[in-house]
């Protein structure tokens, strides 16, 4: 039916268009909310800490000490990664384009013109046809069967029939008919660009890891200046005082020592490692068809405790699907026989809408029919009718209440009972009726139903639920993540979809009744799971209300109406089938639209959080002891015991390189808030142990009259050994990959202290026998103290209270099995204790062998390597002993291998030595006893399989 509100307008003239362009009343829209490239570079490069690091880097180059400037590489890498990360976010935001139609049709000077959407001006007459996107907000002037899909904007899944005087929103798509409309709002004032302005505001995703690291950097920034002056003063006084230091050139060493102290305080490696972990996580997710717009979003979903889901396009594929035909009693045999052909014609008709087209598979066309009279479907009257030349009567298909009135909902009629029961399941219902009277020309012109209609069958349709939706929601339920379904559709329909995907809900909450008060809104959100008739602004309010109750919220969607809520959420997730705006503002985009990828994202996020928490303890431990050393040596006016290059090698081999591998290993530990508190609760006491131990060593070394190179070498040895121990402690429970990492770092440290070229570069000298004995004793005390710190840290901070179980009487067979398990547990505990004792014994023995290098009658290099190797195996035995108590099959295998190596090395000492060595003999005996116990029943039955324990890392 044609309809028009006024005489057909010829559109604007060229002069009128020019006037509007000159006054800025065009559809051009550029939101100035994305950060500029310069601001991104400035934020990542010109920071306080980069300034300190680059200044120190430059000073060392200017004074000719480039060997001590290795730390600058971490700063350069971190700045580059940070810039790349934010440029990716900027690129996504700048690609935001709600108006993605390639052309717009307008009437100008009485003729149609094809122009770019940005060239539309206020009052332009728009020509709207099927498939076109509305380029600007407009009032309908004339319409012929005009239907517009506004689901991307409002959330309403049904197309809306437009009449003259109605408003068409920019960004909506014409799905049927044609018409003209006058542009009433253009540019930034249009409905779609209103969302663009809100959505394009730049904001980085909330990241506990990043905010925690930034907090540490802020703390250090407050003290680095005063501490730097304190250290510089001490180094100048130590090297001759202010009167002579500049004339003698000793100021260079004072500056180098100060720079060593300052750079050690900054956990630059932690920032770099966090960025690398994010980048690798994003790369892994990309292989699973998940695009990460901002790297910290990798960890974000692991912290989420409420997921808000849009229905259309998220839980469903956004398409209507035919469900079933429900025949009614009372139809004649002729009428029943004609149902299939009538439905086939409706499904195949040229102007069939999405609902009718969904029946094509169920009702294919068997033979063509000649139409005698036809009234097309209208969303206003919600029915259509057709008469065929070769069949008697008229077929009518439409909404039951619009075709049969009150009888379609009455409990007294079969039609009413059937329609009501089916509607309560959330399915959409249509009715197919038949009249013996054919359509007359008067009926067609008046769009009137034929007389004496009989209801033949009820047709049900349902939105196609994504096949992976139920499984994914079940996963979130197991992970204790709350679900809220938020849709612009009918609450009853939304509730039915929710039940179909496994949620236990009776009915949806109508958002039109939501309170304006945010506190009351948050309470309603805590009590209800499903919401319908939700506006875009309400979606955003609902997200912020959940956040006000302490929830970490993820929002998924695909329409422009979801953009504001996705932007406001902690983690925004968009389907690739969604609008460009939604994908641009989302943190994550599911490229193949598979909802089932979300568990993959959760797992990746958990791996990042758990592993970074583990390695953060390494870096923060260094920050703590470096800060304390700087303060102590500044207050006591002592020469700083390290060169920057010596700190670089110990940091690299005990922290930086192993942290890189540890940060990328599988780890399925569940997220627990309080990352920084847990990390500092270990880093602070362990850092105090290291600082006090090195201070103790410095006083002892000066008492023994050691010169500065000997003092620095001894301090480097202590820091290397203790650093390896801290690494091994934090790597527990060990698996084959962690053992390889820890062992490789130990071997590399031995190489640094043994290879002449490396010793020369890092200024490592022989500390002498007395100083070697002293540093060995101090190292043992420090290692023991750190082990105590870790035990207390696990018991008081990491371990959750054990869940109490209700006592259940045991049967006789169960008591027998329990007794056997208890006996095996006792023996396993004894084996673990022996393993700990052996580890201590082997480590001490290795150190004693190492000290044998000072015997003038033996080969120093041979004893150095043998002692270092025995000490390495002793440390590794200590590291895997914890897994023995838990029944780890991999720990049993690795312990057996280490014990075998230790037996072989001790045997070499016994054979090659010129006298009987009781230490080696005891080592061989104890190791042999432990191996026998490990592989003798019933102890062997208490260990798991090797593969099961190889990668099952627990929480840090």
Would you name the residues annotated as active-site residues?
A: 310
Residues near 123 by beta carbon (within 8 Å), at least 6 away in sequence = 12, 16, 20, 182, 183
User: Which string of DSSP letters, residue by residue, matches 88-154?
Assistant: HHHHHHHT--S---S-EEEEETTEEEEE-GGG-BTT-EEEEETTPBP-SEEEEEEEEEEEEE-HHHH
What is the Cα–Cα distance from 468 to 590, expressed in whole angstroms? 13
Q: Which residue has the tokens 């009437």?
A: 107
What is the Cα–Cα distance from 404 to 394, expressed in whole angstroms? 15
DSSP 241: -
CA dihedral 401, 405, 408, 410 (to 10 degrees): 130
For residue 724, give the nearest of 906, 868, 540 by alpha carbon: 868
What is the Cα–Cα distance from 891 to 955, expressed in whole angstroms? 17
CB 133 within 8 A of CB 99: yes
CB half-sphere exposure, 354, CA atoms < 13 A: 19
Residues near 46 by beta carbon (within 8 Å), at least 6 away in sequence = none
Phi, psi (deg, nearest 5) at residue 486? -125, 120
CB 601 within 8 A of CB 591: no
For residue 953, give the nearest of 736, 784, 783, 792 by alpha carbon: 736
Phi, psi (deg, nearest 5) at residue 111? -125, 150
For residue 172, give the nearest of 163, 462, 586, 162 by alpha carbon: 162
Query: What tokens were used for 927?
Result: 């190791």
Buried b / exposed e over 338-369, threshold 16 CB at 10 Å, is: bbebbbbbbbbbeebbbbbbbbbeebeeeeeb
What is the Cα–Cα distance from 785 to 567, expressed in whole angstroms? 48
User: Which string of DSSP letters, residue by residue, matches 345-384?
Assistant: HHHHSTT--HHHHTTTTTS---S---EEEEE---TTT-EE
What is the Cα–Cα distance from 129 to 134, expressed in whole angstroms? 9
Apex CA 63: angle with CA 57 and CA 64, to 5°? Answer: 90
Residues near 794 by beta carbon (within 8 Å), at least 6 away in sequence = none
Query: What tokens were used for 608?
Result: 């990042």
CB 286 within 8 A of CB 292: yes
Query: What tokens were used for 277?
Result: 């972990």
CB 304 within 8 A of CB 207: no
Measure CA 874 to chain center.
Answer: 39
For residue 268, give the nearest of 47, 71, 65, 67 by alpha carbon: 71
What is the Cα–Cα distance from 192 to 170, expressed in whole angstroms? 6
CA dihedral 633, 639, 641, 646 (to 10 degrees): 120
For residue 660, give the nearest of 279, 212, 207, 947 by alpha carbon: 279
Query: What tokens were used for 867?
Result: 């002692």
For residue 371, give the nearest of 321, 428, 313, 439 by alpha carbon: 439
Query: If DSSP codes are grouped into helix, strand and coil, which group holds residue 865?
Result: helix
What is the Cα–Cα distance from 763 to 263, expressed in whole angstroms? 19
* Stretch (H or E) spanning 217: helix 208-238
Q: Which residue has the tokens 């890189």?
A: 660
């Amino acid at each position: 039916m044609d309809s028009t509100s006024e005489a057909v307008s010829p559109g604007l003239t060229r002069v009128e268009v020019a006037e509007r362009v000159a006054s800025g009343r065009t559809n051009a829209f550029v939101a100035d909310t994305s950060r500029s490239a310069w601001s991104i570079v400035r934020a990542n490069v010109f920071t306080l800490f980069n300034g300190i690091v680059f200044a120190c880097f430059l000073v060392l180059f200017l004074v000719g000490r480039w060997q001590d400037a290795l730390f600058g590489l971490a700063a350069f890498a971190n700045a580059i990664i940070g810039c790349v990360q934010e440029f990716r976010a900027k690129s996504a935001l700048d690609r935001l384009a709600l108006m993605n139609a390639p052309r717009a049709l307008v009437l100008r000077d009485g003729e149609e013109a094809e122009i770019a959407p940005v060239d539309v001006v206020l009052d332009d007459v728009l020509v709207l046809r099927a498939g076109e996107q509305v380029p600007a907000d407009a009032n309908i002037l004339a319409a012929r069967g005009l239907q517009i899909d506004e689901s991307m904007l409002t959330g309403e899944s049904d197309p809306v029939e437009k009449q003259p005087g109605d408003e068409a929103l920019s960004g909506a798509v014409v799905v049927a008919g044609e018409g003209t409309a006058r542009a009433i709002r253009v540019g930034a004032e249009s409905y779609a660009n209103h969302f663009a302005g809100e959505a394009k505001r730049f904001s980085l995703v909330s990241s506990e890891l990043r905010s925690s690291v930034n907090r540490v950097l802020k703390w250090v920034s407050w003290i680095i200046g005063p501490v730097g002056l304190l250290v510089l003063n001490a180094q100048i006084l130590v090297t001759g005082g202010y009167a002579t230091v500049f004339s003698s050139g000793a100021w260079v060493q004072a500056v180098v020592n100060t720079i060593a102290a300052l750079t050690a305080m900054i956990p630059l490696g932690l920032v770099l490692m966090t960025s690398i972990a994010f980048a690798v996580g994003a790369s892994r997710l990309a292989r699973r068809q998940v695009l990460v717009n901002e790297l910290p979003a990798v960890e974000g979903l692991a912290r989420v405790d409420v997921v808000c889901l849009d229905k259309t396009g998220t839980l469903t594929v956004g398409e209507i699907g035919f469900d079933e035909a429900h025949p009614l009693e009372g139809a004649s045999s002729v009428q029943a026989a004609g149902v299939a052909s009538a439905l086939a014609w409706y499904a195949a008709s040229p102007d069939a809408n999405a609902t009718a087209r969904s029946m094509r598979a169920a009702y294919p066309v068997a033979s063509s029919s000649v139409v005698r009279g036809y009234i097309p479907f209208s969303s206003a009257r919600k029915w259509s009718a057709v008469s065929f030349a070769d069949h008697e009567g008229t077929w009518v298909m439409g909404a039951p209440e619009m075709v049969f009135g009150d009888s379609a909902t009455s409990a007294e009629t079969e039609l009413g009972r059937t329609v009501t029961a089916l509607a309560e399941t959330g399915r959409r219902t249509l009715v197919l009726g038949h009249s013996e009277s054919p359509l007359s020309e008067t009926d067609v012109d008046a769009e009137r139903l034929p007389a004496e209609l009989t209801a033949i069958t009820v047709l049900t349709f349902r939105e196609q639920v994504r096949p992976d939706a139920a499984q994914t929601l079940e996963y979130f339920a197991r992970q204790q993540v709350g679900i809220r379904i938020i849709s612009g559709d009918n609450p009853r329909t939304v509730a039915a979809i929710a039940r179909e995907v496994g949620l236990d809900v009776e009915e949806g909450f109508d958002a039109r009744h939501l309170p304006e008060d945010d506190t009351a809104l948050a309470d309603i959100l805590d009590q209800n799971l499903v919401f319908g008739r939700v506006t875009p602004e309400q979606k955003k309010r609902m997200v912020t209300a959940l956040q006000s109750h302490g929830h970490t919220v993820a929002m998924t969607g695909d329409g422009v109406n979801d953009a504001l809520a996705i932007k406001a959420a902690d983690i925004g997730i968009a389907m690739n089938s969604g609008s460009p705006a939604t994908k641009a503002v989302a943190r994550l985009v599911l490229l193949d639209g598979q909802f089932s990828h979300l568990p993959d994202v959760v797992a990746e996020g958990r791996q990042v959080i758990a592993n970074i928490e583990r390695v953060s303890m390494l870096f923060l431990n260094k920050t703590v002891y470096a800060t304390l050393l700087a303060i102590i040596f500044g207050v006591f006016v002592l020469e700083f015991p390290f060169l920057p290059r010596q700190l670089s090698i110990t940091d690299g081999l005990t922290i930086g390189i192993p942290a890189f591998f540890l940060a990328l290993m599988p780890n399925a530990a569940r997220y627990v808030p309080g990352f920084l508190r847990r990390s500092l609760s270990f880093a602070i006491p362990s850092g105090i142990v290291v600082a006090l131990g090195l201070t103790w060593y410095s006083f002892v070394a000066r008492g023994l009259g050691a010169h500065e190179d000997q003092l620095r070498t001894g301090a480097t040895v202590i820091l290397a050994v203790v650093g390896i121990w801290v690494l091994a402690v934090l790597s527990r429970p060990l698996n084959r990959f962690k053992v390889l990492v820890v062992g490789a770092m130990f071997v590399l440290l031995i190489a640094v202290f043994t290879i002449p070229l490396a010793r020369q570069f890092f200024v490592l000298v022989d500390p002498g026998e007395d100083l070697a004995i002293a540093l060995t004793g101090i190292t043992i005390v420090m290692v023991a103290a750190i082990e105590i710190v870790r035990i207390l840290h696990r018991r008081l901070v990491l371990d959750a209270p054990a869940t109490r179980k209700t006592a259940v009487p045991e049967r006789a067979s169960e008591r027998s099995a329990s007794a056997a398990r208890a006996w095996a547990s006792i023996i396993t505990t004894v084996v673990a204790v022996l393993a700990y004792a052996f580890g201590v014994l082997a480590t001490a023995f290795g150190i004693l062998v190492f000290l044998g290098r000072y015997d003038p009658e033996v080969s120093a290099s041979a004893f150095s390597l043998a002692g270092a190797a025995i000490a390495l195996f002793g440390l590794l035995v200590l590291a895997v002993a914890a897994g023995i108590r838990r029944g780890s099959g991999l720990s049993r295998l690795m312990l057996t291998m280490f014990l075998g190596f230790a037996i072989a090395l001790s045997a070499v000492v016994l054979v090659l030595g010129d006298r009987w060595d009781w230490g080696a003999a005891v080592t061989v005996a104890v190791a042999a006893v432990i191996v026998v116990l490990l592989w003798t029943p019933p102890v062997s039955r208490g260990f798991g399989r090797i593969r099961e324990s190889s990668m099952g890392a627990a929480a840090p």
